[in-house]
Structure 1
């Protein structure tokens, strides 16, 4: 997605710990036309799989996931990082490591909104090491739903998360790929795959 690649080139910053700051695009501020295009791109990639639900994780995955759900006209379910009092006792759970939160995060999805018969596409903001996506895949498996594909706005290709998720045997679609990033060379970004 050329508009996203250009925006990353213009606004992306490298932070300590291998974190790519794109707060003005994905994580803190959202640009409506860019977010809409993300949803259209993901929907075009996954519509033929006939998904019945989009699943993501709060908070940064919600915008691109909602944009996708709107185009596909299917419900969006997002994993919570804290189990709310209103969530039924039957909840699917998994753990993931969050670099931006600096530790392990517990994820919860209510059995009310995900289960047998659901055909799921996962949409998230980043594909790095693949840990968060694997956790969401685990939640989907617990529910008895079928995982159809994974979509991420930005892939850090050099972290090889795609390779680590190959055993899931589902298509993985990204909109931008960070080939490498370091202080000396900056951010080398190309179209997703």
Structure 2
């Protein structure tokens, strides 16, 4: 008769626990990619297509996205600087874009922990009031200073910017996903 060899007793410990799904644990984006995407979108935002009132604010979208996903690189100071650059470029009321970008970035920072629990569509739903309030306050101030209401076209801009959130999530996380696919194929 063959004698059974005793199996070693496995002791469970917290160090042996592994997550079932590692998808939420993304690798951080490189600073080079974050800044390259911000500068590219800033250059795109300098083009005249932004003069159309319902045009989405792509710079705000990308800035808030990175403030949510990579707060080490993008914060309120970056929002202030890019807002100031856009105000100087538009030669309008100085501080309008600054206020919009800082409010939207602050909203993303406040909701950071909550938004990390959800997918991009639910994040977009959570970001809708942030974008609306961030765009509404400068428009209210501008209408108060000018004495005339500019209309509701800015609301379309907030809605379209929010609708582009899942697209930004796919495009801006694409390098990380490709790296994960390469690493999982090699294993």
- TM-score of the superposed pair, with normalisation by structure 2: 0.36
Give the number of the structure with larger relative contact order, counting CA–CA contacts within 8 Å between residues 6 or more apart.
2
> Greater share of helix residues, 1 or 2?
2
